[in-house]
Amino acid sequence: MFFKELKKVDSETSSPVTLSNVKPGALPLALADLITNSAHAGVQVIVCQDNNQMADLIQEVLYLMPQLQTHSFPEWDTIPYDRVSPSQEIMATRVQTLGELAKIRRNGVQEKKCFFTTVRALTQKIVSPEEFVFDQLTLSPGDYCDREKLITQMSELGLERVEVVREPGSYAVRGNLIDVYTFDALDPIRIDFFDDEIEGFKTFDPMTQRSIEDCSSIRLGTATELHLTPKAADHFKIKYIQQFGAKAGSDTLIEALLQGGNPNGIEHWLPLFYNRMVSFLDWLPKESEIICYGSVEEQGTFFHNQAVDYFTQRHQNLTEHSSSNQIEQKNIYRPVPPQDFFISGADIKAHISSFKEINILNHDAEPAINLHTKTPIFSQKSPLNTLAESIQTYQGPTIVSVGSEKQLKQLALGLGSMDISLVSKKNITNALKSFSSHEKNTYSIVSPLRRSFRSEHYQLLTYQDLFGISQARGRVKRSNKEISLQDINAFEVGDYLVHRDHGVGRFSGLVVLELNGQDHDCVMLDYDEGAKLYVPVENLDVLTKYAGQNSEVVLDRLGGTQWQKRSAKVKEKIFEVAGVLMQTAAKRALVHKSRFDMSLPLYQEFCQQFPYDETSDQLVAIQQVEDDLTKDTPMDRLICGDVGFGKTEVAMRAAALAALNGYQVLVLVPTTVLAQQHEKSFQKRFEGFGCRIAQLSRFVKPAQKKRTIDALKEGRLQILVATHAALSPKISFHNLGLIVIDEEQHFGVMQKEHLKTLSPNVNILSMSATPIPRTLQLAVAGVRGLSMIASPPLDRLAVRSQVMPYDGLIIREAILWEIQRGGQIYFVCPRLKDLDLMERKLKKLIPHLRLGVGHGQLSASDLDDVMENFYQGKFDVLLATNIVESGLDVPNANTLIVYRAEYFGLSQLYQLKGRVGRSKKRAYAFFMTENSTLNEKKAYRRLEVIQSLDRLGAGFSVASHDMDLRGAGNLVGKAQSGHIKEVGYELYQQYLNEAIETLKANALENPEKETFKDSGSLSPQLNLGVKISVPKEYIPDLNVRVGIYRKLSEFTNFKDLEEYREELIDRFGALPVSLENLIATIQAKILSLRLKISRIERGTKAIAITFNERIPPNIEDIVAIVSKNPTLYQLKPNGKLLCFLSSSQKQNILESVNALLMTMNEALTSTSCKG
């Protein structure tokens, strides 16, 4: 027992029972005692205040009672009468819990079970036990299973069908394989069928899509509260029209349901799908015990009144638009009456009283069992000194709870220096057994207990309370061991593509042409004057993406000369660019810098003082940075990771390694607000390490600025956090060793190039969640080092995104909902003139709203005041332009509303979205548009992408999408943007790479004197009369097929090609013959490239080989081969080489051609070696 007072409470105690003075820290221990005291097998329900407290308590109680069976019934993570569906994970959890209760109703209570829920969950009605459907399916290898029926079942269970499985709650069908990712699984599972027999299961990595290991079985269960069948849809339609009248029959909800869709937010009409809705309490056995924390009636009344208020607003809106036009009538929100969907606080209280009831209060009450616990009041000293003081002044034993062994080690060292020793115990039970209340021993435990408290017998002090470091809830996260760099230039129908020989055309689809009597997939391009060009799929490497704005693109004319003139002009200029890049890279490669010493004790101590456990990706990134800094060549590395994933700690490790080795560090940031925040976080992290830290921005007064510049020049300042002010020629460093560029996408190319001139041997570390396309391209190409941090911290929840037309009601509800849960809101407009309009609208919607306005035209001091006041919580809503895109770190702000979202770029939207979701609370982002502007295809695609990227760690995908959507910025300066526009970014990059390779090969001192040697399309044409395709039946999705074609066409070695072949089998099943033919054709193409062959054609008796040049450079070697085998080869005067085939060789033409080319390659290689 943790509290002797609770021995009085057992199964026989009369109801209700009240416990008083149970502070939050004592609550999990009190619950453990109450659960233990209930000796008989039965159901206990703990009613928590919200989902966060529920999740914390479950983890804490399970720590205290590891054998306890627990289930949770969370509240929906939406506001009442929302247009957004609850998260699939929450719905799946709720349904699994109802399934468990349904089992208890059928079979009775066999053992003790504990159910956790929240007050708000109790205020919402749910389906009755009689109408509840919970299907569960267990599959094992060797089972016979109707595959088509299983696919239907998965949709009915609430799983979403997708093209590629990456998120829980989804499944995909590909050939003989079905991929499925259930909510309770650590990894998704691939089911392999042979006809209708299940051959086996394998887990796979959702990023790389590659298999991990075999597994023995899979269990599928209902994952939605709405069992959406055609019968349910018909039932809904009848009740919907009965409720809202005939006009509702043409509602978009009705249309979507009758077409087999699952409209977003349909769950908010749940009562219309069922005959009877009941309380969660109606599901419980009569002998259940209910334990409530706080006043359930008071909280329930608040939530019920809130739902009624939201209904009133919706209903009033419905009444006002009763005579509106047909289009508005289709889209109008028709809310279910609150009495059909919600329960009042008084009714909940009355229902609870029919069970055995225990009420837990954190204050005094009579009559009650008083636990006499208190919450410690900590002093304003440093956390370590506060802990020491709390231990020394308390007249009794102390238990110190930390979240990890790492934290324990830090505390033991710190307290040891104050002559306080910690006695380590396995758990709190062992600690309590070790002492009497008269001792002053101090014990330590590693536990998930979060809150401190004092009782009459002992005190519990937690690391979280003292140091402000929140404990993780311990959900297991799979580490992304391999990051999939997705195809950053995927082709889609309608895209503009550039053919190296023919210029810009429009991709209009895949077509099947008959070549030599066999079907052959080709990409069709539209050109000017209606001309069409067909490119065989094995030659897609001649095509590149043209990422310009659609309205500005002009199609080239097939056979015209304009393309050749434009590309020739670009090639001439490209050598200047290549020369600059080569010289910069060469200078940095030749420069030798001092190696930083990692073994310094102070640096090791700095690393140890990081209070969190690093994620696996973070550790890899830190290791890569340390490796770079300990080399004798300058570092140039990009850290790509989402907001809050730990990039700053990587930068701080690099800064510490540089500063402690005697070098200065410049941390460059885009905004003054971010400069202030970074200065504070750096000073806190570097406290005690003798590093002087300052900032330079427009907020720094002139006198302070002068002192900082002088200290920098004289070497008395180790770390400078600065905005663009640091680029001033007036600023010089004494010994600059490291530049950290945060939010690098906000800095221009020339600014970043200027930084390299500050010191020839300076190390550069760039950080971004959404790097600009140029940086991304250089990193992916290997020119710069790339570290990916894709593993989110424990407990980080993805931001829920919703794209919708402007809706004042939703704005009002979202703001009030966030304020109600104690949070703040960002409201962002694209233009300055929108701010006044929106300020008036917001004040009309919510008259007493505390509102602050921020934009770039405010004075420095005024803007600083606005940002600081928002950070301090002095107002609820920050109405601003995209000045908040970067730099603000306000963990309490968890709702974002973007007005006219179509005006923002994709990276801007993602950066804005990154302003919220920095705490354990679920965050929401509403991207609102004006309907008339959504006709613009690119704007719509941006919003589609931002809504689809709800997973954590999607920043790299955003940068990739952004390169497609807006093209690339300047490569080395403004003058180059025009050249990039002429040929498209991707082809420009190819030209540049070829120019650099030419320069490297010739080792020229003056690159501008060299001319560009164009190698043409560089893609051998093979016409061998075999069927080549990825059949629709094998991979239905066109974009996936085109992606495979493109990837295959770009391979240049057999090893990578074979690995990709294995990946295709792994992902999609056994390869069809036409795809095997394509892979064999690619093998022949690789050999043709090596042999400088431009074309291979099949004739009746022989194959004809055409070389790149009429007289190839290795003509003597080819003549030698022909001379040795005159019956097999014949060299024609026009330079063509004929290779004669036997009848058996003609039967398997691809195998024969590859064998022939391999023989030629070996012969030519052997001849050149002898030469």
pLDDT tens, position by position, 956-990: 444 444 443 443 444 444 444 455 556 665 676 67
Three state DSSP letters for 1004-1025: CCCHHHCCCCCCCCCCCEEECC
3-state DSSP helix/strand/coil % of the chain, to nearest 5: 45, 20, 35
CA 642 vs CA 167, 618, 646, 653, 952: distances in Å:
17, 12, 8, 18, 8
Confidence of residue 886 (pLDDT cuts 50, 70, 90): low
Does 246 score more than 70 pLDDT?
no
Which CATH number does 800-951 carry? 3.40.50.300
Tell me the C-alpha distance between 361 and 20, whole Å.
5
- What is the per-residue pLDDT for 160? 84
SS3 1098: strand
- Determine the Cα angle at 366 with ends 361 and 372, to 5°: 55
- Estimate to the nearest angstrom the gap between the alpha carbon of 210 and the chain centroid: 19
Does 884 score more than 80 pLDDT?
no
Q: Which of 256, 350, 279 is nearest to 121 (CA)?
A: 279
- What is the per-residue pLDDT for 487? 41
Does 331 score more than 90 pLDDT?
no
Region 1056-1078 average pLDDT: 91
- What is the per-residue pLDDT for 276? 92
- What is the per-residue pLDDT for 201? 92
Which CATH superfamily includes the segment(s) 136-221?
Penicillin-binding protein 1b domain (3.30.2060.10)
Q: Determine whether domain 591-789 maps to CATH 3.40.50.300.
A: yes
Q: Are strands 277-278 and 453-454 parallel, antiparallel or unpaired?
A: unpaired
Residues contacting 316, CB < 8 A, separation 6+ = none
Tell me the C-alpha distance between 617 and 645, whole Å.
9
CATH of 395-467, one of 3.40.50.11140, 3.40.50.10420, 3.30.70.3040, 3.20.20.80: 3.40.50.11140
536 token code pair:
């065989």
Using CA atoms of 658, 659, 664, 665 in order, give the dihedral in degrees to the nearest 10: 70
- Stated as kind and residue range, the H or E segment containing 910 is helix 906-913
- Stated as kind and residue range, the H or E segment containing 399 is strand 398-402
- What is the per-residue pLDDT for 121? 97
Tens digit of each residue's pLDDT (9 = 90 or more) over 267-276: 999 999 999 9
Tens digit of each residue's pLDDT (9 = 90 or more) over 487-515: 445 677 888 889 988 999 999 999 999 88
- Estimate to the nearest angstrom the gap between the alpha carbon of 712 and the chain centroid: 39
Does 857 score more than 60 pLDDT?
yes
Q: Which of 718, 669, 725, 724 is nearest to 701 (CA)?
A: 725
Output DSSP code: residue 321. T
Confidence of residue 358 (pLDDT cuts 50, 70, 90): very high
Please state whether the peptide bond connecting residue 367 to the residue before it is cis, i.e. omega within 30 degrees of 0. Answer: yes
- What is the per-residue pLDDT for 326? 52
Topology adopted by domain 4-8+17-131+260-370 = Rossmann fold (3.40.50)
Tell me the C-alpha distance between 61 and 31, whole Å.
7
Using CA atoms of 709, 714, 718, 723 in order, give the dihedral in degrees to the nearest 10: 20
Confidence of residue 147 (pLDDT cuts 50, 70, 90): confident
Tens digit of each residue's pLDDT (9 = 90 or more) over 284-296: 999 899 999 999 9
- What is the per-residue pLDDT for 268? 92
Q: Which of 16-30, 62-76, 899-913, 984-998 has the lowest mean pLDDT?
A: 984-998
Does 839 score more than 90 pLDDT?
yes
| 530/325: higher pLDDT | 530
Confidence of residue 461 (pLDDT cuts 50, 70, 90): very high
Does 755 score more than 90 pLDDT?
no
Tell me the C-alpha distance between 328 and 318, whole Å.
10
Q: Which of 489-493, 540-544, 820-824, 1020-1024 has the lowest mean pLDDT?
A: 489-493
Task: Please state at what angle helix 1149-1170 crosses helix 1073-1090, rounded to 10 degrees.
Answer: 20
Percentage above 70 pLDDT, the chain: 82
Confidence of residue 899 (pLDDT cuts 50, 70, 90): very high
Euclidean distance between the first and the last CA atom of the chain, given in angstroms as a whole number: 89
Does 475 score more than 60 pLDDT?
no
Does 333 score more than 60 pLDDT?
yes
Does 606 score more than 50 pLDDT?
yes
Does 555 score more than 70 pLDDT?
yes
CATH class of 1021-1170: alpha beta
| 728/387: higher pLDDT | 387
CA 495 vs CA 24, 508, 700: distances in Å:
58, 8, 49
| 47/1091: higher pLDDT | 47
Other Cβ atoms less than 10 A from the Cβ of 458: the count is 22
Q: Which of 153-162, 389-398, 441-450, 930-939 has the lowest mean pLDDT?
A: 930-939
Q: Are strands 693-696 and 1129-1131 parallel, antiparallel or unpaired?
A: unpaired
Tell me the C-alpha distance between 80 and 125, whole Å.
12
- What is the per-residue pLDDT for 1144? 82
Q: Are 814 and 926 in contact, with CB atoms under 8 Å apart? A: yes
Domain pair 4-8+17-131+260-370 / 800-951, same fold: yes
Confidence of residue 751 (pLDDT cuts 50, 70, 90): low
CA 568 vs CA 477, 517, 575, 988: distances in Å:
52, 38, 12, 12
Confidence of residue 621 (pLDDT cuts 50, 70, 90): very high
- What is the per-residue pLDDT for 75? 95
- What is the per-residue pLDDT for 658? 95
Q: Which of 26-40, 583-597, 706-720 has the lowest mean pLDDT?
A: 583-597
Residue/partner pairs of 524-528 with CB below 8 Å, 24 or more apart: 525/497, 525/499, 526/555, 527/502, 527/503, 527/555, 527/556, 527/557, 527/558, 528/554, 528/555, 528/556, 528/557, 528/558, 528/560
Average pLDDT, the chain: 82
Output DSSP code: residue 1028. B
- What is the per-residue pLDDT for 905? 74
Confidence of residue 656 (pLDDT cuts 50, 70, 90): very high
- Estimate to the nearest angstrom the gap between the alpha carbon of 316 and the chain centroid: 39
Q: Is the dihedral of CA 313, 318, 324, 328 positive or negative?
A: positive
Other Cβ atoms less than 10 A from the Cβ of 375: the count is 15
What residues does each domain of the chain span? 4-8+17-131+260-370, 136-221, 395-467, 591-789, 800-951, 1021-1170
pTM of the entire predicted model = 0.71
